[in-house]
Structure 1
């Protein structure tokens, strides 16, 4: 197994997973087989399986019929039907869909629904903390696209950062290497502003920035960058996202997730703690101020 921007921040991918997990729980509580559930809504056993995994859009009529079959009514029934309607709402990034790779759409929904985001990268500032100019400089290195498309890609990345704001923001734990903060991506002025923004972000209660030093292999615990997503809903398992230039892998097998969790724990343990991030960045700002 391995998206409207609303107060619960759940995009279609995560919402479908939540609906499916609850349907499975109701079915098992009534000791109903997938085959019998499928027969009840004139569908196959495999369709029930896909619904419970959140891999297909839901028809409200099918969910209504299943809830009646499972004996679910009242507020609980209404709550689930509301989730179904939200899952069928167009994603907030729909206007930018032309610059969203197909394999990235699931991640956008999961990221916006996450209650905690842990990210590891040796080479670049985390996407959720990038300034527009830093993002543009980074994309110019990897994207052979028009100025208009570049603008749209920058807008998409900036819009993703709303997950860290609002009434119930996600908690971000970011392990960043000193090399990424000293690399002159976009030039001294771009990096100066990026470092200032990072210092400001490190003081925000829901953002915890761990900076690894040149003098230790503190962050060198994995070859590729990765992100671990955790959700408030018990129905949703932790998810690891691994991105490559032309695709992505979504990992949710508990033993595999634990492997990545231990890797990022080791990285954070060997890096400067969050309460020192602002002072570490202040030490880096001197050369950038001089160059600017």
Structure 2
């Protein structure tokens, strides 16, 4: 690792010192993966050096788990990064990456796999998403959000449901605050036909969608039934893009009790192409607005 590379990493640390800990973990994981592959070291051997499995090395390199500074130090030694001036920025990044995010106070409600997503969402500059069952979480009105949350949390108390709705609303500040997130959503017609929470909740939800699409950073397209089959045969997914060039696009697919994260270029490029085709097949944004307005009239 050159002094120039160390200086570059140091600049990255300064740039992101107040950023999302998830992004800091990904930045560090990306650097560690690059160092490992440059040295031709397998994940198994890297895992052995820190008394862990190759699977943990994979999770570390994807930024999905927190780092122990001792583990980072051992990996740097294994990868030949001995100079204290070169090690210091990476060890400092490991320390900063373990800081709790704003969502920490909701930690008792969040499975670890979704906590990763919230961190990614908070750091993304743009998200493109396709949904075939629910309105995307960032566009859900409170009553609709509560109805969706109740489906997966049947035993939750009213107080817990309130906190879960508060968390969802807090995430939505990315769309209206400073440093706004660009959101481009393609939703199946079934999403706005399925009456979750009753007629009033659906009316509130459609009105909320119309209000949000008036924002420059929000685009919504409806995929109508009459278009037949389409490119997203596998179901819902999201593509997250970040302002940092060091970070790859991440494809996120949520399951019932876990989630899948893809960050290899070949995989993310495939999903980008699928999303591009969906955007062509779906109603254009203005046509989608007229369709949503027609639902209110009914």
**TM-score, length-normalised on structure 2?**
0.76
Contact kept in structure 2, 1:177 and 1:219, CA below 8 Å = no
Contact kept in structure 2, 1:219 and 1:271, CA below 8 Å = no
Among candidates 6, 17, 20, match of residue 11 of structure 1? 20
Among candidates 164, 180, 183, match of residue 172 of structure 1? 183
Return 54-63 or 14-23, whichever deviates more. 54-63
SS at match of 1:57: coil
Root mean square deviation of aligned Cα: 3.5
- Counterparts of residues 94-113 of structure 1 (less than 5 Å): 94-113=104-123
Among candidates 109, 133, 138, match of residue 123 of structure 1? 133
Q: Which runs of 5+ in 1 are unaligned?
A: 1-6, 36-41, 288-292
Contact kept in structure 2, 1:27 and 1:70, CA below 8 Å = no
Match of 2:13 in 1: none
Among candidates 149, 152, 165, match of residue 139 of structure 1? 149
Contact kept in structure 2, 1:199 and 1:277, CA below 8 Å = no
Instruction: Report the alpha carbon displacement of residue 61 of structure 1 after superposing the two structures with TM.
Output: 11
Larger RCO, structure (CA 8 Å, separation 6 or more) = 1
Say yes or no: does 1:230 pair with 2:212.
no
- For residues 89-131 of structure 1, the C-alpha deviation after alignment (integer angstroms, 9 at most, x for no partner) is 2121111111112221111111111111111111111110001
Match of 1:21 in 2: 30
- 2: CA distance, partners of 1:140 / 1:17: 32
Relative distance call for 1:32 and 1:138 in structure 2 (3 A) is: closer
**TM-score, length-normalised on structure 1?**
0.77
- For residues 125-160 of structure 1, the C-alpha deviation after alignment (integer angstroms, 9 at most, x for no partner) is 111000110011122223212111211211121111
Q: Which runs of 5+ in 2 are unaligned?
A: 1-15, 43-48
Aligned length: 272
